[in-house]
Structure 1
Amino acid sequence: MLMGLGYGFWVSPTFKEIAAGVALFLFGMLSLEQGFKAFTGGALERVLRGSTNRLWKSIGFGVISTTLMQSSTLVSLVTISFVSAEMITLAAGIGIIMGANLGTTTGAWLIAGLGMTVNIAEYAMPALVFGVVLLLQKPKAMKGLGYLAMGVGFLFLGIAYMKSGFDAFQGAFDLSAYAVEGFLGVLLYTAIGVAITVVMQSSHATLLVIIAALAAGQITYDNALALAIGANLGSAITTAIGGMTANLGGKRLAVAHVIFNLLTAAVAIALIRQIGWAVDYLGGLIGIADDNLLLKLALFHTLFNLFGVILLAPFTRLLESFLIRHVTSVAKPMEQPRYLYPGALETSSSAINALRKELGRLYDNAYDLIAKGLSLSRSVIESDQSLTAAVASTQRMIPLDVDDVYERKIKSLHSAIIAFISETQGRGLAASEGNQLYALQQASRDIVEAVKAMKHMHKNLSTYGLSSDPIVRGPYNRIRRRIARVFREIQQIRSQDPETVTSLSLDALKLSLETSSQDLTSDINEMIRSRRLAPGMATSMMNDESYASEICDNLIEASKALLQPGTPEDEAMEDKLALDDDEIQRIAADRNSETKRFGAHHGPEKASQ
């Protein structure tokens, strides 16, 4: 492609101007993308959820966002990242894609109605000056506004260069001599439109070329209509290429985009004459002159996209079900990332949500490993069955190579999470987003530390967990029960409505666990004093009790990051109300002291109750 461009520059000075116009236009779109990304963050997810809970809202969101960003490809790729991170449903994503296709037609109206009739370069210069001034400021919001202003300036400048380039090109070469009439011409120029869009990665840039060429008389009106259809279809191909790197949800949405654009293109090609008649009729009603081919092209572009939305919108749920049923993939091994892919970095919000989803998978891997180490199944832990009875009835310890499972299912996934966090941190984040990333990184480490503690404890647990001596088995039963209880209560919290759960929900569990830990340590000391337990065995028990406490503490801390964060004000209030470690240990010690005094007064039988 570079060699072809170089040859074009050599043989035609006017080609330089056209190519420069396209380059400036594309650079303006990149600047707009950069500017809009500066304003994404925690609020974006709330706006999305409120704007996509109905199909008409999803379509409206797609129209408005594409009109503002002037890039249906960007909106489509961002939407794929949202669906992949499970921030929105697949049906909502399909609605946004339909709206984005409709919203992209506003660019054609802008270029045809303003860019080709007004000296738009005069407006580009002030926008570029203001953009550079804002870009030199330190605040992120100011830089974002600077990118937006520069984007608008370069868009306008690109349109101006394209217009003057085709005007000059007309005197040297007449492309209209290569016009192809009839249905063959429609198919040929549709294919050319697809190819141009795939190369430039922008249907807006293709429309700019089409409108500028039509304005200069370099292509016929009929061929311009076919090129516009091809530009629309080409945008789906560029989105599909980006969507192929996404996870299963993103791939399904990319397929939905291709289906929608193929359907729209097929209808537009089949009914191109009828839609052309509708353009003539509606153009007359809204005051478009018969010889104003540029505005007629913009109206045609709007009509066939609107027709596609009207055709597909009633079948959105059916399309969603079809994609879920037929677009599947081979399940990745648990140790491979499922949500972390380059497209998730499109916005900080989608990156953080993808990380939280992947952290949930790391937690589940650790859950499986530790549960097997305890010789308890997840179904038992998550049921209503008594944990005391389940532990006491264990007949055999499940064989487990902790080191092997750790290497395959924990370490590799933890490494991928840390690498993705590093990538996200390098893209410029708000303070609240940086805090969330730090919390997710720390949670990943907590999960790994819990597994490592299980590695240390597992040998003794396998040896003494089913000891025939109740003095030995009893403390290990209590350790197994305590860890299982942590998993049970965390799973119950995770299953609740995220809006009603806070980190304070875990304080009562932490206090209860600290009480149990101190109680077990006290009982081990008492058995040593009464000569019922050998000091060597007691040392092993105390070490394992310490490992069990480490497992529980790390799991609880990690589970906080799995909860959806509230506002910074809510989190600050939770921090004030939450008990710190010293307070929990002091309250637990007071409870144990009261229990002992109660037992001394009422007898051992009452105290055990």
Structure 2
Amino acid sequence: MSINDVGMLFSFIGGLGMFLYGMNIMADGLQKSAGGRMQKLMSFLTKNRLMAILVGAGITAIIQSSSATTVMVVGFVNAGMLELTQAVGVIMGANIGTTITAWIVSMSEWGSVMKPEFFAPLLLGIGAFLVLFAKSEKKKKIGEILVGFSILFIGLSFMSDAIKPYREAPVFAKAFAVLGKNPVLAILAGTVVTAIIQSSSASVGILQTLALNGVVNWQSAVFITLGQNIGTCVTALLSSAGAGKNAKRASCIHLLFNVIGAVVFGIIMFILFSFNKAWGASTINSVEISIFHTIFNVLNTLMLIPFADKLVRLSTYIIRDNKEDEQPEISAAGEMRRHLDERILGNPAFAMDAVLGEVNVMGQFTLENLKKALEGIETGNKDTIRSVFQNEKTINDMEKIMTAFLVQVDNLSLTEEQHQVIKNLFYTVSDLERVGDHAENIAELADNMRKDEVTFSKKGFKDMKLIAEETILALESALKAREFSSASEAMQEADYERNVDKLEDELREKHIQRLSKGKCVPESGVVFLDLISNLERIADHATNIAGYVVSEAGKGLPALDEE
């Protein structure tokens, strides 16, 4: 191999790297531009299978990877956010969405104006200028898309230039002639290459680069493309290795869908090429690869939509349940860990949606534990008090799980607004954990009252219930504000918190007066004062949580720094 040959190899590898990197940057920019709209797509999945297919196609078109979409689907199924019947539609749609990349690559054959060397440098310059100098976040996102798009095309140009000197080389003609005459070998080649580089978009792009230089024939291109569709399943199969049965079934459905399509269309195309050998041996260009790739994926989806439920049943037959797989009931913290599946990190917007949902779950769990602690004060029931202590351990576990996942989400490609929400969620989780601590303090007071046989006077009980109800209302409003991003609920919480502060001052003074007049014993007095102090601090944490929501809405309500 000469120095020139080595240089060409380096150019091809460098071009492939630029192609993949450009695709990644463009996908990041598109995801940021889509923003909250990506989160709303998930809500459509429950409507019907056609909508699920459209959502799968849309997501894949944005993130430029059917493998990434399918891995996310595996994560959603494993987290219990999607049923297998819903996952089928998304997987089918992902195969259609991945054809967008092929069309982007084939743009260079649409006309001289569309050639990469003509407009890519200009777009790169405009994109870089926007990224570096634009003040608007929206313009910066557009700049990222342009930069990624340009690098993708420049990389494609590098690959094409590296191959040009060898397009007359007999090795290419012989290789593709062999693959064209042996469909199984061609499908296997497409499968292996795609499995190695973990991207059908990239492997189709390489094939199209060869086609641009006129070295690929129709027979080999068709069968290699069918193999590439099978190879893209490897990523999801590997991803599901440590997941639950349903997640494994989702990746199995992806494999079944693509294998069945490859077999059916492989037989059809083999028959057609047998009748028209001249067509099979003729060269194919990149646009024709895009056309075949799109037609195959659309027709394969239309063919298998009526059999979607049968695919689900077949996957359950292949991956069966057995008694050894039965697990004991999962704790609330374990359920949270399952829902925050790392596979969903492939899409920042969906990951954020999952985090927001689990913060709400943690909030409701903490609220219920506070109610149990107050019930323990009122009834002195030993089992109720003990359950508060047990739940507090769960709340601490939830905080650790949430914090670890939030760190991962914060390192994703997010907009400034999304980073701010993640920062506020860190604080919210910390506030909820402190509310849990105060609920535990209240349970300890209840346990001491039970052991020491201490009770409040009728007036004391009435006062305690009054401030407890206002505190619960404050926390409920704060949690609603967080769940629905509602500034009005946050303002309502502020009213409740002011009531709690006012009541705490009044009740503290009244109780001290009762103590001085001998209307209640000192032991109950100490417990009462500690109790209302804990309730007042819980209301402050509720104000913190509500304050974060208002700050996101641009209202400027600062969060308290109570402890």
Q: TM-score, normalised by structure 1?
A: 0.71
Query: Aligned partner of 1:98: which letter?
Result: M
Summarize the Cα distance change of 1:68–1:404 in structure 2 as closer, same or farther, 3 Å threshold: closer
Alignment of 1:246-285 (within 5 A): 253-273=250-270
Alignment match, 2:13:
19
Alignment match, 2:352:
352
**What 5-or-longer segments of structure 2 have no aligned partner?**
none
Give the superposition deviation at 1:455.
3.5
Summarize the Cα distance change of 1:43–1:224 in structure 2 as closer, same or farther, 3 Å threshold: closer
Contact 2:432 2:541 in 1 (8 A): yes
Give the superposition deviation at 1:225.
1.7
Alignment match, 1:300:
292
More displaced stretch, 444-453 vs 135-144: 135-144
Alignment of 1:157-176 (within 5 A): 157-176=154-173
Contact 2:58 2:97 in 1 (8 A): yes
Identify which of 434, 440, 444 aligns with 1:449. Answer: 434
- Residue 38 of structure 1 pairs with residue 32 of structure 2: yes
State the SS of the aligned residue for 1:533: coil
Contact 1:248 1:329 in 2 (8 A): no
Alignment match, 1:56:
50
Alignment match, 2:541:
554
Contact 1:115 1:159 in 2 (8 A): no
State the SS of the aligned residue for 1:400: helix
More displaced stretch, 327-336 vs 166-175: 327-336
- Residue 188 of structure 1 pairs with residue 185 of structure 2: yes
Contact 1:240 1:255 in 2 (8 A): yes
Identify which of 103, 112, 118 aligns with 1:122. Answer: 118
**What 5-or-longer segments of structure 1 have no aligned partner?**
1-6, 377-390, 582-609
Contact 2:27 2:62 in 1 (8 A): no
Query: Aligned partner of 2:205: which letter?
Result: L
Identify which of 408, 419, 440 aligns with 2:425. Answer: 440
Query: Aligned partner of 1:460: which letter?
Result: L
Q: Deviations over 1:441-485 (max 9, x none)?
A: 222122111222234333331121476565469846975897589
More displaced stretch, 325-334 vs 225-234: 325-334
Distance of 1:28 and 1:499 partners within structure 2: 35
Give the superposition deviation at 1:72.
3.0
Give the superposition deviation at 1:542.
0.8
Query: Aligned partner of 1:350: which letter?
Result: F
CA RMSD after TM alignment: 5.0
Alignment of 1:129-278 (within 5 A): 129-139=125-135, 140-178=137-175, 185-214=182-211, 216=213, 218=215, 220-242=217-239, 253-273=250-270
More displaced stretch, 7-16 vs 347-356: 7-16
Query: Aligned partner of 2:31: which letter?
Result: K
Give the superposition deviation at 1:254.
4.3
Q: Deviations over 1:189-221 (max 9, x none)?
A: 222212211222221221122233355565543
Alignment match, 1:525:
512
- Residue 104 of structure 1 pairs with residue 98 of structure 2: yes
Contact 1:194 1:234 in 2 (8 A): yes
Query: Aligned partner of 1:360: which letter?
Result: N
Distance of 1:90 and 1:519 partners within structure 2: 57
Distance of 1:315 and 1:499 partners within structure 2: 41
Summarize the Cα distance change of 1:142–1:504 in structure 2 as closer, same or farther, 3 Å threshold: closer
Distance of 2:357 and 2:254 partners within structure 1: 25
Give the superposition deviation at 1:52.
7.7
Identify which of 305, 320, 323 aligns with 1:313. Answer: 305
Distance of 2:9 and 2:445 partners within structure 1: 78
Contact 2:31 2:63 in 1 (8 A): no
Q: Deviations over 1:119-171 (max 9, x none)?
A: 53233322333233233225433332232222222222233333333332344
More displaced stretch, 531-540 vs 492-501: 492-501
Identify which of 386, 390, 393 aligns with 1:400. Answer: 386
More displaced stretch, 442-451 vs 7-16: 7-16
Distance of 2:477 and 2:273 partners within structure 1: 60
Contact 2:109 2:286 in 1 (8 A): no
Query: Aligned partner of 1:29: which letter?
Result: M
State the SS of the aligned residue for 1:531: coil
- Residue 415 of structure 1 pairs with residue 400 of structure 2: yes
Contact 2:389 2:443 in 1 (8 A): no
State the SS of the aligned residue for 1:174: helix
Contact 1:397 1:466 in 2 (8 A): no
Give the superposition deviation at 1:426.
4.6
Distance of 1:277 and 1:197 partners within structure 2: 27
State the SS of the aligned residue for 1:207: helix
Q: Deviations over 1:272-296 (max 9, x none)?
A: 435769999xx9xxxx997656555
Q: Percent identity?
A: 18
Distance of 1:195 and 1:260 partners within structure 2: 18
- Residue 462 of structure 1 pairs with residue 447 of structure 2: yes
Contact 2:127 2:142 in 1 (8 A): yes
Distance of 1:329 and 1:193 partners within structure 2: 39
State the SS of the aligned residue for 1:193: helix
Give the superposition deviation at 1:260.
2.8
Query: Aligned partner of 1:338: which letter?
Result: R
Give the superposition deviation at 1:309.
0.9
Alignment of 1:286-297 (within 5 A): 292=284, 295-297=287-289
Distance of 2:494 and 2:306 partners within structure 1: 48
Alignment of 1:319-330 (within 5 A): none
Give aligned pairs, total.
Answer: 547
Summarize the Cα distance change of 1:495–1:430 in structure 2 as closer, same or farther, 3 Å threshold: closer
Query: Aligned partner of 1:19: which letter?
Result: I
Q: Deviations over 1:351-373 (max 9, x none)?
A: 33222233234335545655664
* Structure of greater Rg: 1
Summarize the Cα distance change of 1:392–1:339 in structure 2 as closer, same or farther, 3 Å threshold: closer
